[in-house]
Amino acid sequence: MMMMGETWSQLGSLIATAMFLWAMFDKYFPHHLRSLILSHSKKLASFVYPYIQIKFHEFTGEYLKRSEAYAAIETYLSEKSSSEAKSLKAVVVKDSSQPVQLSMDENEEVTDEFEGIKVWWVVKKITPRTQSFSFYPEMEEKRYYKLTFHKSHQQIVCGKYISHVLQEGKAITVRNRQRKLCINKSRKWSHVTFEHPASFDTLAMESKKKEDIINDLIKFSQGKEYYAKIGKPWKRGYLLYGPPGTGKSSMIAAMANFMNYDIYDLELTNVKDNTQLRRLLIETTSKSIIVIEDIDCSLDLTGQRKKKKERVNNEEKNDPASKMANGEEESNSKVTLSGLLNFIDGLWSACGGERIIVFTTNYVEKLDPALIRRGRMDKHIELSYCGLEAFKVLARNYLDIDSHPLFVTIGHLLEETNITPADVAENLMPKALNDDAGTCLEKLIEAIKTAKEEAKKKAEEEARLKAEKEERKKQEATQEDVKVKSLAKEVKENGVEVVIDDKTLAKEVKENEVIA
């Protein structure tokens, strides 16, 4: 026991001495001399340690784009991890053949064989040494996979094996792919599983318009070579506009389900500036739909186009205290119209392919023409009030019927009344156990009649207010005319010179042949 204690004591002293010498070497040796010694020491070590290591980092580039190679390796090793690794991470996936997907935890190692060659994979994590506080912190931890193999197999591993891993990993991803609904939070995307059931079959819309949109989507998905030939990024813009409740969000969900695309719901008010907007763009994947809903309400994107005089007049409106008093939210976003245009159609839009960009708005007339011109928003789709054909789709969805004697009455009412598909659907939905198709259709008829009466009253009220406004203008004009004529008569009779400050009044007096 004493001899063992002495051995451990000597070993501890040796390690402490080595650490002290290394600290002195690292701190006090000149840089060029230190580099020379380290390079030669690596050459000497290669004779003792004949292995090569390759690192695959999770994020690459200045904008920290997630590496496709890292994701493919993670997927490829998932099966081996479950059988060999002792420490695993689990992700629960709904509606999948593999409800729980496992991956290696940090510092875990698994082995793999390819054409008789044995290699080792290990996942590592780099934690920053310094801590800093920021409202927009950078990625705190960075992970990477390290591949180790004997140097005699370098040609096969670097040539065939790595290609095999990447291709197999991507193939597994496609087989197990589950679509995502992403939203930008802070400086990166967060996601949940996309489970919206909407489809073009359930969408309340005319069949001809549906067919046109479906054909356009299919043509786009098959257009990789065509877009390359004409020299344009492989993307397409859709503008969905119409009153609230006409199915704009359902249209986006139906497009995603039809194309099997992910959705990136971009909230512009959460984007700090144009640089962050570009970063979010390059982090989106191909086969995705980038959505900006209610683009007219997202930001004041046309503010920089206002004249200086208009900006001065609006200073009070833009004052934070005034906004708080009016219950308006203050946004710290500095995204500009030019930054958004570059996001949609500039150089950065070519970072990746097979993307669809969708804008939605209730008031298309409020948008800057530069934002929605062809080439940016290539296809404009108006989603309007419910017609007979759209109603039949909703009746089939909610009541499982294709015809009913009340359809004729409803069709006539829909031609005379503006009612949204959302309102129609709400009235078609059974609210009680004894509600049948006839009961729901009768409720819908009453709702349409009520909407018709309300629209009539609103139109009459607007006409009354308009008439009153015109009458007031007419009376004011008459009073002004009487005033001018009276003043002109008085000046003419008395021969008095009068200085008139009102230019309009002076003009009218002059027209009455009086020198003022």
Looking at the fold, whether 198 and 241 belong to one and the same domain comes out as yes
Q: What's the pTM value of the predicted model, to 2 decimals? A: 0.67
Domain range enclosing 414: 404-473
The backbone torsions φ and ψ at residue 149, rounded to the nearest 5 degrees and listed phi first, read -155, 160
Reported as a pLDDT band with limits 50, 70 and 90, residue 22 is low
Strand 379-382 relative to strand 262-265, pairing: unpaired
User: Out of 178-187, 323-332, 377-386, which region has the weakest mean confidence (pLDDT)?
Assistant: 323-332
Do the domain assignments include residue 399? no
Reported as a pLDDT band with limits 50, 70 and 90, residue 329 is very low
- Out of 136, 154, 176, pick the residue that ends a domain: 176
Do the domain assignments include residue 22? no
Tell which residue, 250, 220, 256, 275, has the closest CA to residue 383: 250
Do the domain assignments include residue 128? yes
Which residues, including other chains, have CB under 8 Å from residue 356's CB and lie 6 or more apart?
Answer: 220, 235, 236, 237, 238, 255, 259, 261, 288, 289, 290
Segment 152-207, tens digit of pLDDT: 999 999 989 999 999 998 888 777 778 899 999 877 899 898 989 999 999 999 99
* Token pair in block for residue 223: 């257009």
pLDDT at residue 61, rounded to an integer: 65
Do the domain assignments include residue 147? yes
The backbone torsions φ and ψ at residue 363, rounded to the nearest 5 degrees and listed phi first, read -135, 85
pLDDT exceeds cutoff 90 at 316: no
Looking at the fold, whether 352 and 494 belong to one and the same domain comes out as no
pLDDT at residue 83, rounded to an integer: 64
Answer whether 204's CB lies under 8 Å from 421's CB: yes
Looking at the fold, whether 158 and 198 belong to one and the same domain comes out as no
pLDDT exceeds cutoff 50 at 320: no
Mean pLDDT of 200-221: 95
Reported as a pLDDT band with limits 50, 70 and 90, residue 66 is confident
Looking at the fold, whether 433 and 498 belong to one and the same domain comes out as no
Looking at the fold, whether 205 and 345 belong to one and the same domain comes out as yes
pLDDT exceeds cutoff 60 at 337: yes
Reported as a pLDDT band with limits 50, 70 and 90, residue 135 is very low
Reported as a pLDDT band with limits 50, 70 and 90, residue 222 is very high
Total count of domains within the chain: 4
pLDDT at residue 143, rounded to an integer: 85
Answer whether 51's CB lies under 8 Å from 149's CB: yes
pLDDT at residue 129, rounded to an integer: 55
Looking at the fold, whether 224 and 308 belong to one and the same domain comes out as yes
pLDDT at residue 325, rounded to an integer: 41
Tell which residue, 145, 90, 87, 83, has the closest CA to residue 120: 145
Quote the mean pLDDT of the chain: 80
Do the domain assignments include residue 212? yes
Tell which residue, 189, 167, 171, 191, has the closest CA to residue 181: 191
Reported as a pLDDT band with limits 50, 70 and 90, residue 229 is very high
Segment 406-446, tens digit of pLDDT: 999 999 999 999 999 999 999 999 988 888 999 999 999 99
Reported as a pLDDT band with limits 50, 70 and 90, residue 311 is very low
Helix (H, G, I), strand (E, B) or coil at 362: coil
Reported as a pLDDT band with limits 50, 70 and 90, residue 266 is very high
- Out of 143, 158, 176, pick the residue that ends a domain: 176
User: Out of 63-67, 138-142, 340-344, 482-486, which region has the weakest mean confidence (pLDDT)?
Assistant: 138-142
Reported as a pLDDT band with limits 50, 70 and 90, residue 137 is very low
Reported as a pLDDT band with limits 50, 70 and 90, residue 110 is confident
Looking at the fold, whether 165 and 263 belong to one and the same domain comes out as no
Segment 99-109, tens digit of pLDDT: 566 677 777 88
Name which residue leads in pLDDT, 358 or 347: 358
Do the domain assignments include residue 319? yes
pLDDT exceeds cutoff 90 at 264: yes
CATH code at position 208: 3.40.50.300
Mean pLDDT of 475-479: 81
Do the domain assignments include residue 5? no
Strand 262-265 relative to strand 180-185, pairing: parallel
Reported as a pLDDT band with limits 50, 70 and 90, residue 46 is low
Integer Cα distance of 362 and 245 in angstroms: 10
Looking at the fold, whether 362 and 427 belong to one and the same domain comes out as no
- Out of 176, 200, 225, pick the residue that ends a domain: 176
Tell which residue, 224, 150, 188, has the closest CA to residue 58: 188
Looking at the fold, whether 354 and 255 belong to one and the same domain comes out as yes
Looking at the fold, whether 354 and 298 belong to one and the same domain comes out as yes
Answer whether 283's CB lies under 8 Å from 189's CB: yes
Residue whose entry in the numeric block shows the structure tokens 């030669």? 40
Burial of 122 (0-12, 13-18, 19+ CB in 10 A): middle
Strand 288-292 relative to strand 355-361, pairing: parallel
Percentage, residues of the chain above pLDDT 90:
38
Answer whether 107's CB lies under 8 Å from 88's CB: no
pLDDT exceeds cutoff 90 at 395: yes
Looking at the fold, whether 354 and 210 belong to one and the same domain comes out as yes
Q: How many helices (H) and strands (E) does the chain have?
A: 21, 15
Mean pLDDT of 124-143: 59
Looking at the fold, whether 374 and 246 belong to one and the same domain comes out as yes
Do the domain assignments include residue 397? no
